[in-house]
Amino acid sequence: MIKIHVEPDKKAVGNAAAALGADAIRSAIDSKDSANIVVATGASQFELFAALVLRRDFNWSLVNVFHLDEYIGMPDSHPASFRRYLNERFTSLLPRLGSFYAIRGDAPDLGAELARVGALITQHPIDVTFAGIGENGHLAFNDPPADFNDAKPFGVVPLDERCRRQQLGEGWFATLDDVPEQAISMTIAQIMKSRLVVLAVPDSRKAGAVRDTLEGPVTPMVPATILRRHPACHLFLDPLSSALLRHLPDSVGE
């Protein structure tokens, strides 16, 4: 079930999504002395991170962080690297963090890297996943048609042209040829294991994907639709990203 929240603008989307996620982090720490979270990247998450790094109502040293994906072959020095993005907008702005388990897309042995991060996340059941929805409806880098049944925590996935054009349009690359064609991505099955999923999805360019996620069938052709089967998913929209919805229900299930 996806619970829908429409906020007045993208800053309010970030603030509200960060507040809900922070409450869940604090609750996890209160109950088991630690919290495990997953964070996304991309332009849609700027405002969420700006709000989340200001939270001091829990102890960040008790928080372990994973991220959703990373381009294959990309060093963390590259401007488009998700490790670099998260260092600049998140981890470097926090007090002492418990752990940041980065996906090394440029690891010399991708099989070993998949095994490493898969074992780590298996040892750290996720309390909160902060994510977005791609312009093509993707979830992490699981482009359509997504594999809903892959039981591994992470896998190597191809990036379709629409996904790659989104990365170009957000300004991360100079040309389409510069955008990698593969990435390591958290699988759909692993994302669905998170106790809470918090989606921050502002901007008009996401309106079609939001409509298809909420109003069409649950299908691998719109990967984010699988979250309608999640027991605790919250979707934060602004007026632009919600503009194509026929109506604004409080929540949407399958």
Rg, the chain, Cα only: 17
pLDDT digits 0-9 by tens, 99-112: 999 999 999 999 99
Distance (Å) of CA 122 to CA 35, 42, 92: 14, 25, 25
pLDDT digits 0-9 by tens, 145-190: 999 999 999 999 999 999 999 999 999 999 999 999 999 999 999 9
Count of Cβ atoms closer than 10 Å to residue 203 Cβ:
16
| d(C-alpha 178, C-alpha 175), whole Å | 5
| Per-residue confidence (pLDDT) for residue 229, from 0 to 100 | 98
Count of Cβ atoms closer than 10 Å to residue 198 Cβ:
28
> 70: helix, coil or strand?
strand
Contact 194, 126 (CB under 8 A): yes
Contact 48, 20 (CB under 8 A): no
Q: 27-59 burial, b for 16+ CB within 10 Å, e for fewer?
A: bbbeeeebbbbbbbbbbbbbbbbbbbbebeebb
Burial, 109: exposed, middle or buried (Cβ in 10 Å; 0-12, 13-18, 19+)? exposed
| d(C-alpha 25, C-alpha 248), whole Å | 28
Burial, 129: exposed, middle or buried (Cβ in 10 Å; 0-12, 13-18, 19+)? buried
- Residue ranges and CATH numbers for the domains of the chain are 2-252 (3.40.50.1360)
- Residue segments in the chain with a per-residue pLDDT below the cut of 70: none
| Per-residue confidence (pLDDT) for residue 254, from 0 to 100 | 85
Look up residue 37 and give its amino acid: I
Contact 4, 250 (CB under 8 A): yes
Q: Which of 191, 203, 243, 244 is nearest to 39 (CA)?
A: 191
